[in-house]
Amino acid sequence: MALEASMGRRHHQTPPQPSSSAGNGVFFLMPPNGLPDTSTARHRLRLNPSAEHNPDSYDDLQLEFSPLLFSSLERYLPPAMLSMSRDAKLQYMRDILLRYSPDGERTRVRILFISILLYIQRHKEYRQRIISNYQPLHRELYTMHATNFFVPSFLKAINENTVESFRSIMTEPIPGIYTFEMLQPHFCEMLLTEVDNFERWIHETKFRIMRPNTMNKFGAVLDDFGLETMLSKLMNDFIRPISRVFFPDVGGSTLDSHHGFVVEYGMDRDVELGFHVDDSEVTLNVCVGSDFSGGELFFRGVRCDNHVNSETKSDVDELINLESAVYPVVLHDVKLYRLDNYLGASKESRLLHCHFSAYYQILHRGRHRHGARATTSGCRVNLLLWCRRPSLALFRLNTMSRLRRCEGGRGGERQVDGKSTCRLSFMFSMTGLELGMWIYSELVCSYCGL
């Protein structure tokens, strides 16, 4: 299993064994020491959840585990238990969870593993509900039509697929930030109106959607309303070849999953986005609506896991002066600002600070700290594609819950003073369990490096 392989390789531990099948889709949770336990008969769960069962809510109870976990786990109860009282079901599920809650990494891995399965199941159902009810406006957006979507220079570089061809279309205003022309304006317009259409549908049907991440209250997850296949193709056939060349240190050639969404800023929308790192190895950021002012995107150094929240060192901080140190450079449609004293700098160059305003298409490492300043008028809509490599999937979930806890709620409530960073993540937190491992060994951290 990929999961086991990744665990073993990274942490030299015995891989989790989530299911020891006892025939007919029933599995036994294994006790913490990994040995079969004579009392496990009391602790059966079904391998496949009951799709028809409508679980109870546990939100009103003070429990050791998230109420959501109990509601999700209910579908995995043996059929005979489903009609029992909420208390009986709760007791049964608590017994299971408490058996595995004592300390120990292996135990936590198992519970985390179950949580992931439950999450995946719930999320699949959520997406299915949207896709079977929402009527798309532009069906042609939902499958990849490269010649209609991309500008010719970009397609030519992709077809040639060489370092030189990619370099010929890229501008790297500061190391690690690449800007280029990629999408046709027509594609951006279609995307904008499709998102509008989706939002109208949400409004009319009062469907409660999950927002793209922990810091935005607006915006929409494109994958959730049918664009997943097209965006997978965008990542696999277009972003991965480029990332292979420009981001080898974060596994650019192995990107295999994505989170695709739009963010929206303006009146009655989000205003700005605080300083953060993304839950991705590589991020594509495309400004699809350019009728606005403000909203500059700024960057400031790549950080490893240990220093993602470390304050910027004061001597370096003094170098950064947003208003006075920038000057505009116009590249194609890209209006780009960069630090005046960047060129030729060595130490400072690792604490890069760069501003972008409309109209741009940018690729950067997820760990390159950044934020978006307030949109002061009009509406700014950006397409984001967080691209991920495979082996971090298990730990991602756990890292998010850890951050959620240390940040005390939604990331959006955090600072925007540029002194510390929070990690922007998708809303997965289910159990609050953590493993605390996220390894970016090859990444050059601007804090360690200084």
Ligand X SMILES: O=C(O)CCC(=O)C(=O)O
Count of residues touching Fe ion (by CB under 5 A): 1
CB of 212 to ligand X, least distance (A): 7
CB of 371 to ligand X, least distance (A): 7
With respect to ligand X, which residue has the nearer C-beta, 367 or 402? 367
With respect to Fe ion, which residue has the nearer C-beta, 216 or 431? 216
Among 189-197, 247-255, 277-285, 318-326, the segment contacting Fe ion (CB under 5 A): 277-285
CB of 333 to ligand X, least distance (A): 16
Q: Which sign does the torsion angle of CA 181, 336, 359, 211 carry?
A: positive
Judged by beta carbon distances under 5 to 8 A according to partner kind, the member of Fe ion, ligand X, none in contact with residue 339 is none
- Of residues 21 through 60, those in contact with Fe ion by CB under 5 A are none
Among 114-122, 186-194, 278-286, 395-403, the segment contacting Fe ion (CB under 5 A): 278-286
Phi first, then psi: give them for residue 381, nearest 5 degrees: -125, 125
- CA separation for the pair 243, 228 (Å, rounded): 20
Between strands 297-302 and 220-221, the pairing is unpaired
Among 46-54, 159-167, 254-262, 274-282, the segment contacting Fe ion (CB under 5 A): 274-282
Q: Please tell me whether residue 312 adopts helix, strand or coil conformation.
A: coil
Scan for tokens 């303006």, then name that residue.
266
CB of 286 to Fe ion, least distance (A): 13
With respect to Fe ion, which residue has the nearer C-beta, 30 or 277? 277
Residue 106: both structure tokens together: 């292996």
Question: Of 278, 279, 281, 296, which lies in the binding site for Fe ion, with binding defined by CB under 5 A?
Answer: 278
Scan for tokens 């951006």, then name that residue.
188
Please give the C-alpha separations between residue 299 and each of 293, 336, 355, in angstroms, as whole numbers. 19, 12, 7
CB of 257 to ligand X, least distance (A): 16
- CA separation for the pair 311, 132 (Å, rounded): 47
Judged by beta carbon distances under 5 to 8 A according to partner kind, the member of ligand X, Fe ion, none in contact with residue 382 is ligand X
Between strands 273-278 and 422-424, the pairing is parallel
Judged by beta carbon distances under 5 to 8 A according to partner kind, the member of ligand X, Fe ion, none in contact with residue 179 is none
CB of 362 to ligand X, least distance (A): 8
Between strands 368-372 and 273-278, the pairing is antiparallel
CB of 297 to ligand X, least distance (A): 5
Residues that bind ligand X (CB under 6 A): 263, 273, 278, 285, 297, 370, 372, 382, 384, 424
- CA separation for the pair 333, 449 (Å, rounded): 34
Among 3-11, 96-104, 193-201, 273-281, the segment contacting Fe ion (CB under 5 A): 273-281
Among 46-54, 270-278, 335-343, 409-417, the segment contacting Fe ion (CB under 5 A): 270-278
Q: Are 447 and 304 in contact (CB under 8 A)?
A: yes
Is 296 an interacting residue with respect to Fe ion (CB under 5 A)? no
Is 272 an interacting residue with respect to Fe ion (CB under 5 A)? no
- CA separation for the pair 193, 158 (Å, rounded): 28
User: CB nearest ligand X: which residue?
Assistant: 372
Is 270 an interacting residue with respect to Fe ion (CB under 5 A)? no
- CA separation for the pair 235, 257 (Å, rounded): 8
- CA separation for the pair 314, 9 (Å, rounded): 38
Please give the C-alpha separations between residue 1 and each of 237, 349, 387, in angstroms, as whole numbers. 25, 42, 22
CB of 381 to ligand X, least distance (A): 9
Residue 327: both structure tokens together: 């000057």
Q: From 329, 423, 410, select the one nearest 371 (Cα to Cα).
A: 423
Judged by beta carbon distances under 5 to 8 A according to partner kind, the member of Fe ion, ligand X, none in contact with residue 372 is ligand X
- The residues of the shown chain that bind Fe ion, judged by CB under 5 A, are 278
